[in-house]
Amino acid sequence: MKLTYNEIANLAVEINGNGRELKGILKQKVSMKVKVQIHRLNQVVQDELKIFEELRKELFTKHGEEKDGSITIPPDKIKDFQPEFEELLSIEKEINATTLWTTPLKIDDIEAMETEEFYPTIIKVIEG
């Protein structure tokens, strides 16, 4: 299944939470089988996020200005930065979840999980 870098970033948040309102699926009560499968998926996601982060930093360095240890994009350069950043977010990566584990992860496997959170990207990956 192909996911954009934007979807991969969303998937990372769905798996790990965001430290605020979303706990993430790994902090939910799920079977050990599901935890192992989600951890394997998370490893692939984290590897892709490293590549994305390197490219994102490259764009910020190219268009931004460093102030007090952080790089910001000045208003007059946003029109050049924005299309390149959107292009980066739309790049697709094949994530073949079926090769991550010996038995496929199915919606039924996470169905018993009690949560108020919603994980649309994880569902997309599982449904493949």
Nearest Cα residue to 1 out of 103, 83, 104, 88: 104
Contact criterion met (CB below 8 Å) for 24 and 67: no
pLDDT at 88: 96
Separation CA 103–CA 110 (nearest Å):
14
Question: What range defines the domain where residue 56 resides?
Answer: 2-127
Separation CA 105–CA 127 (nearest Å):
9
Q: pLDDT (tens digit, 9 = 90+) per residue, 23-47?
A: 898 888 888 788 888 888 899 999 9
Judge whether residue 4 has pLDDT over 80.
Answer: yes
φ/ψ of 104, rounded to 5, equals: -65, 145
Average confidence (pLDDT) over 55-70: 92
pLDDT at 100: 67
Average confidence (pLDDT) over 48-72: 93
Structural domain total, the chain: 1
Model pTM? Answer: 0.79
Which tokens go with 67? Answer: 């102030």
